[in-house]
Chain A
Amino acid sequence: EVQLQQSGPEVGRPGSSVKISCKASGYTFTDYVMNWVKQSPGQGLEWIGWIDPEYGSTDYAEKFKKKATLTADTSSNTAYIQLSSLTSEDTATYFCARSRITTWVMDAWGQGASVTVSS
C-alpha cells in the first residue's frame, strides 16, 4: 500500500524557518517525483514545486522560489520542504503528493502538515 506519512503540526515565529518531512512507503521512491502543495483558506490550493529524488533536481513555482527549499533523502525514502522567513501568509496546510515524472498526475497524497506562524 502506498503511503506518504507527513510530520506533525509546526508552530514557527515570524522570521524563523520550519521543515516538514514526508516519508514514502509502498513503492520505489526514485520512480516518482514528489510535489508539494499549499492549502490555505485565502488562496486555495497552490503548487509549490517538485523534486526528483533520484537526481535531486527541482522545479519551483516562481512565487515560492525564495520561500521553499525542497530536498530528498533516498536512504530513508523521505522528502522535505523547508519554509524560510516565515510570515502570517505561510500559515497553511502543506501536502506532499507523488507523481510519475512522465505523467505529472498526483496520484497519492500525504495527510497534510499544518504550519502556524505566530509570535
Chain B
Amino acid sequence: DIQMTQSPASLSASLGETISIECRASEDIYSNLAWYQQKSGKSPQLLIYAANRLQDGVPSRFSGSGSGTQYSLKISGMQPEDEGDYFCLQGSKFPFTFGSGTKLEIK
C-alpha cells in the first residue's frame, strides 16, 4: 500500500498568517492527490483535487501544489473558519490511503 506521511500533526496560526501542510507519498502518485478539511463532528469537505485544482466554492486562499511524491496545501491568510483537521488522500493506487491529518488551530 502507498503510505502517506503528513506533517505537521498540529499547527497553530494567527489570523492572516500563511500556513503550509505537507504530504509525502511512499511512491510517485502522479498528482492523484486531494486535500480535505474536516470540522469537529462533521464530514470531510473537498478543498483541492488533482494536487492543485480548487474545488468549486472553496475560497481562493486555499491552494495546492506538488508532484511526484511531495505535495502541499497552503492557506494564504488564516481565517477563523479555517480551524479544523486537514488530511490528504491519494487515489493513484488501490487501496486509496489517507494522511494522518493535521489539526489547525487559531493562535
Range, interface on chain B = 20 to 34
Contacts of A105 in B (CB 8 A): 34, 46, 49-50, 91
B4–chain A nearest beta-carbon distance, Å: 10
Question: Could you say which of A47, A103, A107 has the most chain B C-beta atoms within 10 Å of its C-beta?
Answer: A47
A52–chain B nearest beta-carbon distance, Å: 14
Q: Which residue of A lies closest to B92 (CB)?
A: A104
| Cβ < 8 Å to B, chain A residues 77-119 | 95, 97, 103-112
A10 at the interface (CB under 8 A from B): no
Contact B95 A62 (CB under 8 A): yes
Binding site secondary structure of chain B: loop
Range, interface on chain A = 20 to 34
Binding site secondary structure of chain A: strand
Contact A61 B44 (CB under 8 A): no
Taking a contact as CB atoms closer than 8 A, the residue among B43, B46, B87, B95 that contacts A111 in the complex is B43
B34–chain A nearest beta-carbon distance, Å: 5
Of the listed stretches B15-23, B65-73, B75-83, B96-104, chain A binds B96-104
Docked complex Cα distance between A44 and B55 (Å): 24
Taking a contact as CB atoms closer than 8 A, the residue among B42, B45, B87, B98 that contacts A47 in the complex is B98
Taking a contact as CB atoms closer than 8 A, the residue among B42, B49, B55, B87 that contacts A45 in the complex is B87
Q: Which residue of B lies closest to A59 (CB)?
A: B94
Docked complex Cα distance between A61 and B2 (Å): 12
Chain A residues at the B interface, C-beta cutoff of 8 Å: 35, 44-47, 49, 59, 61-63, 95, 97, 103-112
A-B contact pairs, 9 of them (CB 8 A): A44-B101, A47-B98, A49-B95, A62-B95, A63-B95, A106-B34, A106-B89, A107-B46, A109-B43
